[in-house]
Amino acid sequence: MIFICLGLLMLYGFVWLIRLAWFRPLNIEHFFERMLYAQAEMDPEAFVYLPSSQLDNFSRFRVELTERSRARYLKAAQQATDQLETLNGYNFAQLSAANQRATQVIRHQLELQIQAADFADYHHLIQSFSAESDPIFFLTLVHPVHSKEQAKSYVSKIKKLKLSYRQIIQGLTACEAVALFPPKILIEQQLIRLGQYVALPPAKHPLYTTFADKVVRIPRMEITQYDQLEYLRSIEASIQQDVYPAFEEMITYLEQLLRKAREEEGIWALSRGQAFYKHLILKHNISPYKPEEIHQQGLEIVNQTQRQIQELLMSNDLQETDWQQVLTELSPQDEPSNRDSLKADYLKKYAAELSDAAQKVEGLFGTQISRHISLWEMPIASPSIESFYIPPPLEAKGNARLYLNFSGQRLPLFSGLKSDVYRHLIPGRHLLSQLCLQQDSVPLMVKLLPKEAFMAGWELYAQQLAYEYSFHGEMKAHLAYLQNQLLQAALLVIDSGIHHKRWSKEQAEEYLQLQAILSPKEAEIWTLRVIADAGKFSAPILSFQEIIKLREKAQQYFGQNFYITDFHLWLVKQLGIPFFLIRENAEGYLK
């Protein structure tokens, strides 16, 4: 009898596993778990922070780079189509509130993946020249090296970089076949960057130096000094034997592609370019805005922010002061003397302000805020990335990381430091990531999905909170916040200007110099970013506006019973949901 019962239990377990793997699971949470592994297989880099316990049976994910061929968009769309069909098979009304929100997030992500298949060549074209899509960016900044296992994974991935760059070349060749060419300026910038890489000795390349910085932090109980040296020797050899030949191959291809490149910077110049730009706006904003509408909205916010700056100066008895001159003095320094000591002082002050911000902000969110954050200098000498935040690992190894860009001759001023802490870390991106990961009822799949649109708006909202609750403490810090808001609004204008209204690079740079009061050098850097990442810079200011509207609606409804902590806790639960659905969900919150 016992053997019969054991046999039945084993049969039930076998059927359950088969159903989990091949059919629609009875429980939607099991479906979310199955999706997690499917997405991790499709895009290993996006799920690199999965806990080891989640990947015991999927260890190969740890040694793979995300495929960079144009075919990936088609594969992802087919997988998303199947997953969406399964997801829609569940009765939404019968799901728990947490699973309803998870379903909204996942459905939107799947629909975007399906739509992306219609623009597979277009996506490959722009991703090939985006700094944040470069596998070097992933390895040097994002890839964790908190354990011996992760160190081995890093070494293994470097050996596969040659394949990644060949996939990029193959995809660009397919784009050529359908008359899709990148703008000349982006090819020229890429050639400069690759040329700088191959000029470095392997032991000076960021792939080597960043690993060397990280591997020494692994506890000695887990990794020996001999292992560390062996990994570094292997990386140095791989850079020389695999990576540099891949760079040379890429350089040769780009030099011939340069002769065919288009002069126009905006994607409007591509066939179906306008339709693609609308798709990118939806992708980056999780809401279907129209290009002309967001352009006008950007112009209005630029004018409004300029008035706010003038009013701030007047309130501080500086009505005779030229606001444009004030912002010029707040801009990053070019070629500062005593550069290294200034940089060291800046990082020290940044860490002190971080601790102070955590103390001030905790009451607004009803939680103890993690201060385990490491500040790093950006290892890639490129002005195309302002800063980059890495959330803490899901396992108890390692801190969150914030990379600050001191590349070239740029060095930010101390006057904007406090405002930057609020924007990037607390109550900005770091706090939002912490609050998201703390939600026990949210499936791990949802926690790990990208939420850049919401994050970008939250950064501006974090600075706004600091101003409203007088955390800035000084006029210059408040001015730095308004300066950033002005810049984000101006970037929205030139994003839609370049890619929808056919602005030239020179027009965009002139607008930034006149309206956002940037130096010619800074205006060029930001314009190149906008050219490379079409639609991305529409997200921060539009998402910020959505958050403010939601809060104003809640304040109006609750009146004196409005509590900012309750609003924040509700808002964090909406992470990743399209804003038009968040507005619908707000009706339930208000009731």
What integer pLDDT is reported at residue 122 of this predicted model? 94
Q: What is the pLDDT of residue 198?
A: 92
The strand order across the sheet containing 387-390 reads 373-377, 400-404, 387-390
| 531-574 tens-digit pLDDT | 999 999 998 999 999 899 989 988 988 888 888 888 888 888 88
Interatomic CA distance for residues 277 and 284, integer angstroms? 10
- pLDDT value for 571: 86
- Report pLDDT for 369: 79
Q: What parts of the chain have a pLDDT lower than 70?
A: 1-24, 49-63, 286-287, 317-324, 326-340, 381-384, 395-398, 407-416, 589-591
pLDDT of residue 53: 54
pTM given for the model:
0.88
Q: What pLDDT, on the 0 to 100 scale, is given for residue 186?
A: 95
How would you label 157-167 residue by residue, b for 16+ Cβ within 10 Å and e otherwise?
bbbebbbbbbb
Name the residue type at position 160: K
Sign of CA dihedral 561, 564, 566, 571: positive
Mention every residue, 6+ apart, whose C-beta is less than 8 A from residue 204: none
- Domain residue spans of the chain: 36-275, 276-590
Task: Please state, in angstroms and rounded to a whole number, the distance separating the CA atoms of residues 29 and 44.
Answer: 21
Q: What is the pLDDT of residue 20?
A: 47
Q: Which residue has the tokens 């103390």?
A: 359
pLDDT value of residue 481: 85
Q: What pLDDT does 435 receive?
A: 82
DSSP character string of 492-520: HHHHHHHHTS---HHHHHHHHHHHS---H
The DSSP-derived string for 267-300 is GGGSTTHHHHHHHHHHHHHSS---HHHHHHHHHH
How many C-beta atoms lie closer than 10 Å to residue 12's C-beta? 10
Is the Cβ–Cβ distance between 401 and 430 less than 8 Å?
A: no
pLDDT of residue 218: 86
d(CA 369, CA 422): 13
Return the H-helix or E-strand segment holding 401.
strand 400-404
What element of type H or E holds 376?
Answer: strand 373-377
Q: Rounded to whole angstroms, how far apart are CA atoms 200 and 233?
A: 16
What pLDDT was estimated at residue 114?
Answer: 93
pLDDT at 455: 87
